[in-house]
Structure 1
Amino acid sequence: MPSIRDKIIDAQNDSKIFAEFFAGIGLMRMGLENAGWNIAYANDIDPSKELMYKRHFNDEQNHFQLGDIHQIAGESIPKVNLATASFPCTDLSHAGRREGLAGKQSSAFWGFVRILDEMQENKPPIILLENVIGFLTSHNGKDFHSALTALNKLGYAVDAFIIDASHFVPQSRVRLFIVGKLESNDNIMEEKQLSFYESKIRPAKLANFICDHPEINWNITSLPPLPQREIQLSDIVENLPDTAAEWWSEDRVEYLLNQTFDRHRILLEEAKKGKKYTYFTAFRRIREGNSMAEVRSDGIAGCLRTPKGGSARQILIRSGKNKISVRLVSPRECARLMGADNYKITGNINRDLFGFGDAVCVPVVTWIAENYLNPLLIKLKANSENLVFNAS
């Protein structure tokens, strides 16, 4: 019987096997599955996310391992061709304490690095990391540099790019992605100018970082232009009747309007005169000691967050037909804003909102898979000794 490495590769998806770390509620998985990938392993530390994950996917095979990444042995991970890591952003975000990769939560990145190291010859040939753009500037770029050089030491040449989910869904969600390709020595840093790297997905700050660090083993790949979004904020809104309990009372609406900036109040009042509804979103923020409602009027929602406090809940404003109506964005609307329209909502509002606020945008991941990971895997198939086929 021929060995698995000797099998002729005919099936399109037989080598698209991946493991996801920091799996959350599984939106990375959804994005990859849309591009033909098959799950072999998933891990997260949060029991609530495990509940959502298992409820949605209802796998016959139990791919999900609940546990701290620092306690997972690399030798226990099945051989895959892609490993993803959407590790915690808490210590990297501009909204956090900026403790960086040494912080209590974001230091989980080093658990992922350790697992890759322990996998030894079974290290996946491709890795995909995702985090907030604050990762790029954390500790003046030292954390980003440390992360990339750590991946280099494991044998991965690296690439980095930035994508705003607003190209796909009506939500502003800017994220930094890193792709690592195993055993590449084709560093392309020779005599390249900034203009060579700078693009829509590699803005000046990232392009400068690439140019300023030729000691990093880079493998920069050209990507097609990002698409133009086809859906609008109004397309994701649930059609709740005016009598639904979710809509706020007139007094509560007026209280919110009194918290808005004058320019925002004018926009809402103008839209109120319209014969059709116009939708806005808002967050409450503290400005000079006062609670203010900052309204977004560009037709897209602000970045979804985890509901750790009242101000983290995003507000939906509907203005038109001589009325301004207000309520909180619902879990179903959050799912749609993440491109996970048919995700199975649990009914526990805080759990659902936390799951979506701490996830990746599904169509962004699909675009990366179709335009980057899949073509890269095809190239790697020429050397099938580095690949595994057929998820078990």
Structure 2
Amino acid sequence: MPTLTQRPLFDVSPAPPPAPGRTAAEFFAGIGLARIGLEQAGWEVVLANDLDPSKQRLYEGHFGPSTHYLLEDVHRLAERPECVPDVSLAHASFPCTDLSLAGARRGLDSGQSSAFWGFHQLLEAMHDRRPPLVLLENVTGLLNSHGGRDLHALLRSLNRLGYAVDALVLDAAHFVPQSRPRLFVIGKRRAPRDRDLRPDTLAPSPTRPAKLIEAIRAAGDIDWSIAQLPEPPPYGAVRLESVLDDVPLDSPQWWSRDRAEYLLSQMSARHRCAADAMIGGKRWSYGTVFRRVRHGRSMAELRTDGLAGCLRTPKGGSGRQILFQAGDGEHHSRLLNADECARLMGAPGYRVTCRLNEALFGFGDAVCVPAVTWIAQHVLNPALEAR
């Protein structure tokens, strides 16, 4: 039997008191992970808005009963802008479905992703009460959606509302053991021009990869306000085992022998070779598995680089991520549990007060906590202080 190693869990320090003037409204708020990230950087969320009752239940199960959570479609909220208080920041992690493969890349004007335009209408209706800062989050597929036209339309719409814009890509794997690259767009009213970077001076970096720089340079008619950014923490420094529960092997969380063997049988030769190497090791090692349909067949794809794959909403049979633990001739499989998913999102200690599937929907739709904190510390806070 391999020796179990002690797995240290990273901690989130208590949030500092909010700084004067750092108030935020959170749209598409979900279960409140962006709120936690903002609070870590000294912000106070005074309004949260979503239309999913199950996410509101999760939010209030963690934070407590709330009077500031508005359960309403953002398009309808745009008809009542007086419901939104004066704030310094509007954060919107709007639906990504139609900007990804899951939504057949229908684009920003289709389906759930068109909710961005409801958020835009709300900002427009606020007139001179528009917040000085806007932070948007979505999948990196937005960069090339409809040949880049969707991103250009989004940026142009912010310009028309008086915001100069910035953009960066930040992967959760700089902070937690989960591969989760996301595009963040920042809008700044009356931005300080003296410190802005010019698009033609940008060089590829972890936060502005070549594909993003290409998109920025292609949008020559956009009013940019590009901030200088420090390097984020090293990619992949936090390992998967640091967020895992030490679940006894006789726990019902682990799959039966037959089910675990069937998972192995679903692997391609390359993935099976990696699994066999793990099984032959002298200590436990850990990987994650997603099932995907390849050439009409369900296949199990094993990841062994110390990172989990991107958490997703558990729609269909392929959305749930599987833990593969192996060593000394043994192998065991189970689904990642809610507490482990919370840690993968940088929210250890998040109180889950609902059914597992509801929790996984909440985490799969959310934004990584320390990624939001990093952006707040290095982009939002300096921009607000410079006004």
* Global fold match (TM > 0.5): yes
1:315 corresponds in structure 2 to 322
State how far apart, in whole Å, the 1-side matches of 2:382 and 2:348 are.
27
CA contact (8 A) 2:197 2:226 kept: no
State yes or no: 1:17 paired with 2:23.
yes
> 45-54 vs 96-105, which deviates more?
96-105
1:65 corresponds in structure 2 to 70
State how far apart, in whole Å, the 1-side matches of 2:345 and 2:94 are.
18
| TM-score (normalised: structure 1) | 0.90
CA contact (8 A) 1:171 1:301 kept: yes
| 2:173 counterpart (166, 177, 184) | 166
| 1:369 counterpart (352, 376, 382) | 376
**CA shift for structure 1 position 321:** 2.9
How do 1:5-154 and structure 2 match up within 5 A?
Answer: 13-59=19-65, 62-72=67-77, 73-154=80-161
**CA shift for structure 1 position 63:** 1.2
**CA shift for structure 1 position 191:** 7.5
Which ranges of structure 1 fall in alignment gaps of 5 or more residues? 1-10, 381-392
Q: Which amino acid aligns with 1:248?
A: W
State yes or no: 1:222 paired with 2:238.
no
CA contact (8 A) 1:55 1:344 kept: yes
How do 1:134-213 and structure 2 match up within 5 A?
Answer: 134-184=141-191, 186=193, 193=200, 196-213=202-219
Q: 1:12 to 1:338 in 2, by over 3 A?
A: closer
| 1:231 counterpart (197, 213, 238) | 238
Q: Which amino acid aligns with 2:126?
A: M
State how far apart, in whole Å, the 2-side matches of 1:188 and 1:56 are.
40
Q: Which amino acid aligns with 2:327?
A: G
Q: Deviations over 1:225-263 (max 9, x none)?
A: 010254210011111111111111111111110111112
CA contact (8 A) 1:18 1:41 kept: yes
1:4 corresponds in structure 2 to none
Q: Which amino acid aligns with 1:115?
A: L
CA contact (8 A) 1:18 1:39 kept: yes
Which ranges of structure 2 fall in alignment gaps of 5 or more residues? 1-16
CA contact (8 A) 2:97 2:113 kept: yes
How do 1:264-283 and structure 2 match up within 5 A?
Answer: 264-283=271-290
Q: 1:144 to 1:188 in 2, by over 3 A?
A: farther
Q: Which amino acid aligns with 1:69?
A: V
Q: Which amino acid aligns with 2:318?
A: S
Q: Deviations over 1:43-86 (max 9, x none)?
A: 00100000001111115x51100010011122221000001000
State how far apart, in whole Å, the 1-side matches of 2:279 and 2:190 are.
59
State how far apart, in whole Å, the 2-side matches of 1:185 and 1:104 are.
36
**CA shift for structure 1 position 187:** 9.7
State how far apart, in whole Å, the 2-side matches of 1:141 and 1:244 are.
49
1:294 corresponds in structure 2 to 301
State how far apart, in whole Å, the 2-side matches of 1:109 and 1:375 are.
26
Q: Deviations over 1:202-242 (max 9, x none)?
A: 11111111112221000011100010254210011111111
State how far apart, in whole Å, the 2-side matches of 1:328 and 1:347 are.
17
State how far apart, in whole Å, the 1-side matches of 2:217 and 2:203 are.
8
Q: Which amino acid aligns with 1:63?
A: H
CA contact (8 A) 2:275 2:302 kept: no
State how far apart, in whole Å, the 2-side matches of 1:200 and 1:135 are.
18
State how far apart, in whole Å, the 2-side matches of 1:231 and 1:151 are.
36
Question: What SS does the corresponding residue of 1:101 show, helix, strand or coil?
Answer: coil
Identity level (%): 52
Q: Which amino acid aligns with 1:235?
A: S
**CA shift for structure 1 position 289:** 1.2
CA contact (8 A) 2:199 2:216 kept: no
Question: What SS does the corresponding residue of 2:318 show, helix, strand or coil?
Answer: helix
Q: CA RMSD in A?
A: 1.7
| TM-score (normalised: structure 2) | 0.92
Question: What SS does the corresponding residue of 2:19 show, helix, strand or coil?
Answer: coil
CA contact (8 A) 1:189 1:214 kept: no
